[in-house]
Every structure is written in structure tokens, then in C-alpha cells.
Amino acid sequence: TAMKLVVTGGAGYVGSVCAARLIEAGHEVVVVDDLSTGHADAVPGGARFIEGDAAETAETLLGEGFDGVLHFAAKSLVGESMQDPGKYWNGNVVTSLRLLDAMRVHGTPRLVFSSTAATYGEPDSSPIPESAATRPTNTYGASKLAIDHAITSYARAHGLAAVSLRYFNVAGAYGAYGERHATETHLIPIVLQVATGDREQVQIYGEDYPTEDGTAVRDYIHVVDLADAHQLALAGAAAGEHRIYNLGNGTGFSVRQVIEACREVTGHPIPAAVAPRREGDPAALVAAAGRAREELGWTPERADLAGIVGDAWRFTQSRRGATAPR
């Protein structure tokens, strides 16, 4: 059934893809984004767009009566969170608490929250189930974990139907919607910048990890599979409950394997140089994502790494076409 939804952060990478898919599924979507890291032209056509702070806007907007909120708006750079923690405690935690209160005041029944694998920190074992200990190694992960705790108690006390989705490494694109950060730190877009000639080489952060080829291993998930999980979460949320699901494919790829996949997809040699480890990077983060499959009926259909990279590559090339000087 069609719902009336607020999508915070709908001008960002994951938020814009999810908003586009929600609109295609027949939902009514209002995007709220302050454009601090998002792009106005990434807001899907068909969405109403309000430029503003997520909490401040929600405090009045939710009075119109909504079926739910999908809360993507957040600060999400691990390195920055260590240099400028206030930006994360205020921008993520305080904003989300105000949003929760606005939902309570206006009786908004459903919340889907963008949590992260960074809530787990360095895992005791791999793959990581939702029952794993949460010991974030950076302020970004700590801020998302604090919000998860707040959601649990709001759901219990106020009857909110809440789902937190703990993303592993989101990648790929959906047509015109994809990853374009002013400050790019993510592996696949960086490697593709080498293929377009915008960057000379990729640095491999550490070759002495206890993994098969010595480089760090991650679980890459296609942004469209991720978006599908949000729709299932929205449908499956139950009043008074806060459910938490890992979203990943359960397969790890090393930094070298990702670079190799990018070479095959782009046909570019992509020079790589080994550099020191990046502070706070765990050796391997792979999801045990059985709970989302069993309880939400989620079936990721785009797990193939070459397919994920291929979609990101098409998006990167189309953006270059869109921004090239004439």
C-alpha cells in the first residue's frame, strides 16, 4: 500500500537511490536535505523537496501527517569524526533525537534508520551477526550506535515501529543516481577516478593485514539491493519494536580484488601503490545477513562485484559527460 513518507538525506547517495525507488513503487515522498553534502539535482523528480535541517524541518512538517520517516541524513566520514567529534554528536545524535521527538509529538508511526557496520568495530569473528558485540572504533560508529539505543527505547516506550539497517560497504549506482562526494574516501569511486584520469593512482592502505592477500576485506553491497531492503523494512516494521538488520552479501573482497575488478570493467591498467594502513580500519568486515533474508524476505540480486563496479563505472562516465567543459 502506498505511504506518505519523509526521506531525510534524499539528496545524498543512498538517500536519493532509495527515494527514487520508493517513488517508483508508488509512495509519496518528501525529501528533506540541507545540501551540506548532498546535491539538489540528485533529488528524484517526483519528490517534493525541502532544503533544510532534518530535525528543524521535521518538527513542523510531520504535523501534516506521515506514515513514516526514512532517516538517511548524517555525517558519515570516519576520519572527520575523529578530528571533529562535535560535528557527529550534534549532527547525528542530537539531530536524530529531535527527529524522534518530532515523530512522537506528531504520532508518526514508522522509522527506518541508516545504521552501519561501524557500530560493531573490530569483530571477534567473521562473518558478523547482529548479536555481535558493539564496540565502535570511531566517533562515526559511536554516534550511530547511540542513535540505535535511543530508537530502541523510543520504540518500547512510545510504540514506534522502527528498523535499523546496518549497512556494510555500499557501492554501485542506479541510473542517474550514484556516489559523488566532494571529499571522496570510498574505495570504488576512488579507483574509478584513476580510470577516468582524474587521479594518477590508487593507494592501497595496508598490505600486512591477516587476510589472504594482505589487504583489507569488505562486504560490498549494491545500492539497489540496499534500497529494496528499505522498502521491505518499511512494510515489515512492527509497532513497539526496534528490529536491527545487517545488510551485506556475506562475501568479502580484498582491496586488491576490488582494484582488479575495476581493471576488468574499465580496461584501464589502474596503477596502485602500497601505503600505510588507514587509522581505525578493521582487517575484515563481512556481514552475516541471514536475519534480513529470513525476517524481511530480502534477497540481494546484484551481489556480483563486476556488476556492482560496472554500474558505478557507467554512472561515473555519465557524470563526466554531464560536467565536462564545452
The answer for residues whose C-beta is within 8 angstroms of residue 161's C-beta and 6 or more apart is 109, 110, 111, 155, 237, 238, 239, 240, 241
The answer for residues whose C-beta is within 8 angstroms of residue 145's C-beta and 6 or more apart is 115, 119, 134, 136
User: Closer to ligand UFG at the Cβ: 49 or 315?
Assistant: 315
- b/e map 82-117, b = 16+ CB within 10 Å: eeeeebbbebbbebbbbbbebbeebebbbbbbbbbb
By the 8 A CB rule, do 99 and 56 touch?
no
Residue 15: strand pairing partners: none
By the 8 A CB rule, do 9 and 73 touch?
yes
Active site residue 140: yes
What size, in residues, is the chain?
A: 326
Helix axes 13-24, 223-236, angle to 10 degrees: 60
User: Closer to ligand UFG at the Cβ: 49 or 140?
Assistant: 140
Catalog residues that contact ligand UFG under the rule CB under 6 A: 76, 78, 116-118, 140-141, 169, 185-187, 190, 202-205, 216, 218, 255, 278, 281, 285
Dump the DSSP string for 136-199: -SSHHHHHHHHHHHHHHHHHHHH--EEEEEEE-EEE--BTTB----SS---HHHHHHHHHHTSS
Cβ 185 to ligand UFG shortest distance, Å: 5
Q: What is the distance between the alpha carbons of residues 4 and 66, in angstroms, rounded to a whole number?
A: 5
Cβ 167 to ligand UFG shortest distance, Å: 7
Cβ 194 to ligand UFG shortest distance, Å: 10
User: Closer to ligand UFG at the Cβ: 117 or 265?
Assistant: 117
Q: What is the distance between the alpha carbons of residues 14 and 91, in angstroms, rounded to a whole number?
A: 18
Q: Which residue has the cell 516494521?
A: 237
User: Closer to ligand UFG at the Cβ: 53 or 179?
Assistant: 179
Which candidate in 13, 88, 120, 140 is catalytic? 140
Sign of the dihedral defined by the CA atoms of residues 160, 222, 202, 276, in that order: positive
User: Closer to ligand UFG at the Cβ: 193 or 317?
Assistant: 193
Residue 111: strand pairing partners: 69, 162
User: Closer to ligand UFG at the Cβ: 109 or 211?
Assistant: 211
Which of the residues are catalytic?
Answer: 140
